[in-house]
Structure 1
Amino acid sequence: MKYVITGSLGNISKPLTQKLVAAGHTVTVISSHEDRKAAIEALGAKAAIGSIQDVDFLTKTFAGADAVYTMVPPIFTASDWKKHIGDTGEIYAQAIKAAAIKHVVNLSSIGAQMPEGCGPVSGIYRVEQAFNTLSDVNIIHLRPGNFYTNFYANIGMIKHSNIIGGNYGNNTSVVFVHPADIAAAAAEELTALTFKGHTVRYIVSDERTTTEVAKILGTAVGKPELPWIDFKDEDSLGGMIGAGLPEEVAKNYVEMGKAVREGAMFEDYYKHKSEVKASKTKLEDFAKEFATAYKQ
């Protein structure tokens, strides 16, 4: 079959492409960077270089595909991050319709039931809504948990302050996922193409408390007593801005952290938890990868 993959050589799109190519499928990978063309072709895929903000480019690239995998990459320069994410979803939807695509696997997020109050995920809510206007397209929205890999941003904090933390709250239970598990689920859905209508699939690797996160990651890097510190929202905001994040992005991340702390982000997932099969990569598995990155 013929597939188009957005997301360039990202930590989901690259392994997804590798899986599809290995299975003998024809894969086109969209990237905005000309210098990634050779690396994409080295995977055995075709490279389509252009912008996902260009509906004509997308329509031309999507044409003839059996299915498309869509995702909205993080753009930290947007003046209104939620709007940017939602607008990108509208562009995708226009191209999907114009190219007469019949199957779409869309990378959404846990918490995407929230039209407001969940930072960038409330932008992804808008993407889902835009896609769901396509009545004659079969769409599955993949809603993964919080990425383990986001903890790489805490390495400096652990090294220099001997703490790990955020505004998630004390001993709060968090739903996590490994990007490799998302890629595996996306490949499964793309190769089977058994989904009909507009559906949601949650992808979850593990559920752990923030206390357990500190203990497991701390032990992996030789600091078994590493504490999880709960930051106030205003302190989280100031810390992110001080670390160089634009204020718009920092505000959205703080808002998402609040949704984690209050449980709103996981509310819909818990309603469907009995239907969700846990993926294979547990926090202890990721801790080994974290320790390797920590040593670099």
Structure 2
Amino acid sequence: MKIIVTGSLGNISKPLTKELVEKGHDVTVISSNAERQTEIESLGAKAAIGTMEDIDFLSESFAGADIIYAMEALNAGVFFNHEIDFIQANIQIAKNYKEAIERSGVKNIIHLSSIGAHTNEGNGILKFHYEAEKVLNELPENVSIKFMRPVGFYYNMFAFIPTIKSQNVIIQNYGGDDQEPWVSPFDIASVIAEEIEKPFNGREIRYVASEEISPNEIAKILGEAIGNPDLQWITISDEDLLNNLIKAGMNPDTAKGFVEMNMARRSNVLYEDYYKNRPEMGNIKVKDFAKNFATAYYKN
């Protein structure tokens, strides 16, 4: 099949591209970075260089495809850009995808959404996923869409490294012994590859998770991996976390969204629909990820 992969060679798109090529699919990877072209081609895929803001480019790239894997991808630096509304920027990308899909005539879409996309209230920065799904659901009924809703990514834990190094603790506005789901991008890629080869039928939702584990267990595993078995996860107030993020230079509205997202972790808002539709766990666990965490910890 001819498959379009958005997201360049990111944490999900790269392993997804590798798996799809190995299975014999004709894969084109969309990237805004021309320097990625050689690496994309080295994987056996084609490169289409352009941006998610360019609807003409997207329409031309999508034309003739059997399936499109679509994700909203803004680099992490956007969090610190005080001129960009992160939520609205992502919603606009979804609108661009919608128009390009309509122009191209592609009928099968896999969209990377997120846990929290079941509601537009109380989920903080994840609200844009609800809005993006809403936009894509406006496509004609003959366009089938599979919405993938992964939980929190393991690699988000790399953000713990600075405070571990400076204060010897993990600091968040949530914590404790209650288990919550996390996921490896490799497990997400595997699930997407699996869904690509299954029939498309209307609108479907699938949650993706690798392990359910508590913050205190995570601190223990990461601490042992970096040679700090006494590493603690401590909880601070929402206000203190917000002030810390703003002090670090994050866009205040984006920072507020992050704090609200974590508040939703403490309540049942974030996970209520996930637990109603609990998936099978993936293969990669926090103990596996901890090896990469330790490498990054000692590299920085």
TM-score over 0.5 for the alignment? yes
Is 2:156 the partner of 1:124?
A: no
Give the CA deviation at 1:120. Answer: 2.6
Match of 1:25 in 2: 25
The answer to whether the 8 Å contact 1:79/1:248 transfers is: no
Unaligned runs of 5+ in 2: none
Q: Which moved more, 1:213-222 or 1:176-185?
A: 213-222
Match of 1:256 in 2: 261
> Structure 2: how far apart are the matches of 1:129 and 1:289?
36
> Structure 2: how far apart are the matches of 1:119 and 1:6?
25
The answer to whether the 8 Å contact 1:82/1:119 transfers is: no
Of 226, 239, 247 in structure 1, the residue corresponding to residue 252 of structure 2 is 247
Is 2:97 the partner of 1:103?
A: no
> Structure 1: how far apart are the matches of 2:264 and 2:136?
24
> Structure 1: how far apart are the matches of 2:236 and 2:226?
22
> Structure 2: how far apart are the matches of 1:244 and 1:173?
31
Match of 1:115 in 2: 120
Is 2:188 the partner of 1:188?
A: no
Instruction: Please tell me the root mean square deviation across aligned C-alpha atoms, in Å.
Output: 1.3
SS of the residue 1:152 aligns to: helix
**Identity, % of aligned pairs?**
46
Runs of 4+ residues deviating >6 angstroms = none
Match of 1:167 in 2: 173
Give the CA deviation at 1:158. Answer: 0.9
Match of 1:15 in 2: 15
The answer to whether the 8 Å contact 1:139/1:198 transfers is: yes
Give the CA deviation at 1:116. Answer: 2.7
Amino acid at match of 2:87: K
The answer to whether the 8 Å contact 1:172/1:261 transfers is: no
> Structure 2: how far apart are the matches of 1:255 and 1:114?
13
Unaligned runs of 5+ in 1: none
| TM-score normalised according to structure 1 size | 0.95
Q: Which moved more, 1:12-21 or 1:76-85?
A: 76-85
Match of 2:237 in 1: 232
| TM-score normalised according to structure 2 size | 0.94
Of 143, 147, 153 in structure 2, the residue corresponding to residue 137 of structure 1 is 143
The answer to whether the 8 Å contact 1:141/1:201 transfers is: yes
Give the CA deviation at 1:112. Answer: 0.7
Q: Which moved more, 1:219-228 or 1:198-207?
A: 219-228
Q: Which moved more, 1:112-121 or 1:256-265?
A: 112-121
Match of 2:155 in 1: 149
Of 83, 89, 102 in structure 1, the residue corresponding to residue 94 of structure 2 is 89
Give the CA deviation at 1:87. Answer: 1.7
Amino acid at match of 1:34: A
Amino acid at match of 1:221: I
